Structure 1
């Protein structure tokens, strides 16, 4: 396994990092140019109005060469509502860029069970979905991401000191859209794992009805340690990290 810190000495000399990030995490800047990802296992609790309503896990595994798998599982119970889902993304990582290969999402619980798959053919430059008979009628973009891989690209770009970010996404239903983000600043937050220094990032929407904020922690290799989602100023849910292990 590649140690994410092993290139510190040689990288610090060559990498310029934005001023607001230098004081926060110079120690972790060593992995910015590494052309590999560090496999991990992370656990989260899902809350609503301060009460734990479920749990989630996120696992990154290396398949071979520059091919990886990201798996997310969640289990939520709230009153009579129950939701279990699994998302799996297969992708490559090269030159500090993620390229999705295949995305699969299954959901069960209250209401009908559902499954979505999206496949990316980088040779033919086509994207197919199990909900469509033919390739999706959307414009191929080199930076195209799936519903999970953009999160990995976001972490890498924040490591590189970027403060405004935009990603073309093909979501689980095969719709194409852009996810836009902006760094708001540094913040120390209290989590079940303790007090954590973070970078707070806001998702930008085309209206003010929805709100989403994520907190990435340099000391945990810029992992997502907290997320907040709201609608019309009312909290929908929060996610907080409870455990993080390097595989």
Structure 2
């Protein structure tokens, strides 16, 4: 899954948006500079295989990098082909870290393959406390919450909170459509699992839904700095897909 470049909302707004982003980021950086520098993260690259009913259907890549301005970029990219179905997705989130909390700055997602192509961009203006979407002319009409995340930074936060010993988690999420939703999780036990990289001791975390129709379970490995090493998603007891770590590099 290649890196995704965030497209401007439209061509005429490109230069003004860049100036706006630079201006408020300088102010934001000044506010959080001490904490950000005090909490460096370790960049990594993790490769996964994506399977369905025991058959490998594609690959995925999760990567964390650090920028010169002390922001981080987390990407998740997948390429899947199953029978006549194909799906290629790219997600990218840029964020800062303050007191072990991820502060979202930008999020983007693009998808192409079977069915209509899609692309979403979100900008979190931490100074004005507004969220902008490439799908809307004006800021999104959502209540600003300091702890809100996007669809990638909440995953970083879950890993961080799990590492700190927490067992229950709840995150307000701004999804790709700009809607505010709550994602809830809890630790479901410890388990030794077999992956393409070998046997791994893990902590199993399940997502909590309003009903039992959907299932989502994630396994994190303390020996890999609490990296996500396996993920399962199902609906009404039928596996939709499974992701397993096959290579990890720092």
TM-score (norm 1): 0.85
Matched, 1:158 2:158: no
- 2:139 aligns with 135
- 2:87 aligns with 83
Runs of 4+ in 1 over 2 A off after TM superposition: none
Rounded to whole Å, the distance in 2 between the matches of 1:186 and 1:146 is 27
- 1:42 aligns with 46
How far has the Cα of 1:65 moved from its partner?
4.5
- 2:105 aligns with 101
- CA deviations on 1:73-110 (whole Å, 9 max, x unpaired) are 11000010011111110100121010110001111111
How far has the Cα of 1:166 moved from its partner?
0.4
Matched, 1:126 2:130: yes
Rounded to whole Å, the distance in 2 between the matches of 1:125 and 1:237 is 37
How far has the Cα of 1:41 moved from its partner?
0.4
Q: 1:230 aligns with which of 228, 234, 245?
A: 234
Structure 2 runs not aligned, ≥5 long:
1-37
Rounded to whole Å, the distance in 1 between the matches of 2:69 and 2:188 is 36
Matched, 1:187 2:185: no
Helix, strand or coil at the partner of 1:64: coil
Moved more, 53-62 or 104-113: 104-113
Rounded to whole Å, the distance in 2 between the matches of 1:89 and 1:134 is 21
Task: Please report the RMSD computed on the Cα atoms of aligned residues, expressed in angstroms.
Answer: 0.9
TM-score (norm 2): 0.84
Rounded to whole Å, the distance in 2 between the matches of 1:241 and 1:88 is 19
Helix, strand or coil at the partner of 2:231: strand
Question: 1:18-29, aligned counterparts within 5 Å?
Answer: none
Structure 1 runs not aligned, ≥5 long:
1-33
Q: 1:169 aligns with which of 151, 173, 183?
A: 173
> Relative to 1, partners in 2 of residues 1:151 and 1:166: Cα closer, same or farther, differing over 3 Å?
same
1:36·1:94 contact (CA, 8 Å) conserved in 2? no
Rounded to whole Å, the distance in 2 between the matches of 1:243 and 1:145 is 27
- CA deviations on 1:190-247 (whole Å, 9 max, x unpaired) are 000000000000100111110000000000110000000000111111000000000x
Rounded to whole Å, the distance in 2 between the matches of 1:207 and 1:126 is 32
How far has the Cα of 1:175 moved from its partner?
1.1
Helix, strand or coil at the partner of 1:141: coil
Equivalent pairs counted in the alignment come to 213
Matched, 1:202 2:206: yes
1:89·1:101 contact (CA, 8 Å) conserved in 2? yes
- CA deviations on 1:3-34 (whole Å, 9 max, x unpaired) are xxxxxxxxxxxxxxxxxxxxxxxxxxxxxxx7
- CA deviations on 1:136-194 (whole Å, 9 max, x unpaired) are 11100000100000011001100110000000100111111011000011100000000
